[in-house]
């Protein structure tokens, strides 16, 4: 099992904690956090609780642990809704992998540090002198702040902020977990059921050098499948593989040839 340090990744090795729970300092952290997240709380006690680690709370129920519990669910729901709307061509398995990567401790910790939420944490005296303190608290505060905004401002207040904060994480997860599955899945299917390996054939390219679009078809043996457009050859090949899988499964095409805004494309080189 990975340690909390490993889960946060190399980008998050510098966590900034201030070793006191002075009331004036707490107020400064609350103001700083509201500036960071671009949201002014009607009930600042929610944000104070969201930023308070158990070591800085009068009791466990006054810490951010309950808000973290709620925030984990709110984050998961918002990301699932986002992926469901934006990636209709992905199946349940792909969406689950992408979602898991986006809401992981590593991802949340990385975003929290990027925003500067680690500088807003309210912790108890001695925490920064204890080298064994859990670095996962940085990702925990991200979830607790999400819950605090949700409770204070409702669904609309947190939805767009989550999409803004996590856009890079979603893009990276889609690239590594989602789109790459189509070529891999087609290759497995072709080798297992058709005793052949897919190749990808450039059918057509359009546009100036700095904005080219490529129409590519997947070919297995003598069978050429409906080609798909992409802004680069890699994306076009992934989409061509998705089309081939859909045809083999007798499903609707996720990427008809005219989907890139071009007139109907040729279907053979």
C-alpha span between 94 and 82 (Å, rounded): 14
Three-class DSSP category at 42: coil
Three-class DSSP category at 223: strand
* Residue count (the chain): 269
Query: Which residues are bridge partners to 224 per DSSP?
Result: 219
Which residue in the list 72, 94, 140, 235 is annotated as catalytic? 72
Looking at residue 53, what DSSP letter applies?
Answer: -
C-alpha span between 73 and 79 (Å, rounded): 10
Please indicate whether residue 86 is annotated as part of the active site: no
Please indicate whether residue 251 is annotated as part of the active site: no
DSSP 16-27: ---S---HHHHH
Contact 26, 122 (CB under 8 A): yes
Query: Which residues are bridge partners to 205 per DSSP?
Result: 214
Residue with tokens 């593989």: 241
Query: Would you report the helix, strand and coil content of the chain in percent, each value rounded to 5?
Result: 60, 10, 30
Which residue in the list 68, 94, 118, 143 is annotated as catalytic? 143
Residues with catalytic roles: 72, 143
């Amino acid at each position: 099992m990975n340690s909390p340090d490993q889960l946060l990744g190399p980008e998050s090795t510098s966590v900034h904690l201030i070793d006191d729970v002075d009331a004036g300092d707490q107020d400064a952290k609350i103001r700083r956090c509201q500036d960071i997240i671009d949201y002014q709380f009607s009930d600042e006690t929610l944000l104070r609780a969201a930023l308070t680690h158990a070591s800085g709370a009068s009791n466990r129920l006054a810490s951010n642990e309950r808000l973290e519990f709620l925030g984990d669910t709110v984050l998961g729901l918002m990301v699932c809704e986002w992926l469901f709307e934006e990636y209709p061509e992905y199946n349940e398995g792909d969406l689950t992998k992408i979602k898991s990567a986006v809401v992981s401790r590593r991802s949340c910790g990385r975003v929290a540090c990027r925003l500067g939420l680690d500088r807003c944490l309210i912790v108890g005296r001695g925490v920064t002198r204890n080298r064994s303190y859990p670095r996962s608290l940085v990702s925990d505060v991200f979830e607790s702040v999400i819950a605090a905004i949700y409770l204070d401002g409702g669904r609309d207040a947190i939805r767009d902020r989550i999409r803004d904060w996590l856009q890079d994480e979603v893009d990276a997860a889609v690239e590594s977990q989602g789109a790459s599955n189509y070529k891999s899945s087609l290759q497995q299917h072709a080798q297992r059921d058709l005793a052949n390996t897919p190749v990808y054939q450039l059918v057509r390219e359009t546009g100036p050098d700095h904005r080219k679009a490529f129409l590519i078809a997947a070919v297995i043996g003598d069978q050429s499948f409906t080609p798909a457009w992409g802004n680069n050859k890699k994306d076009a090949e992934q989409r061509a593989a998705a089309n081939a899988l859909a045809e083999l499964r007798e499903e609707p095409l996720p990427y008809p040839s005219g989907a890139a805004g071009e007139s109907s494309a040729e279907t053979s080189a």
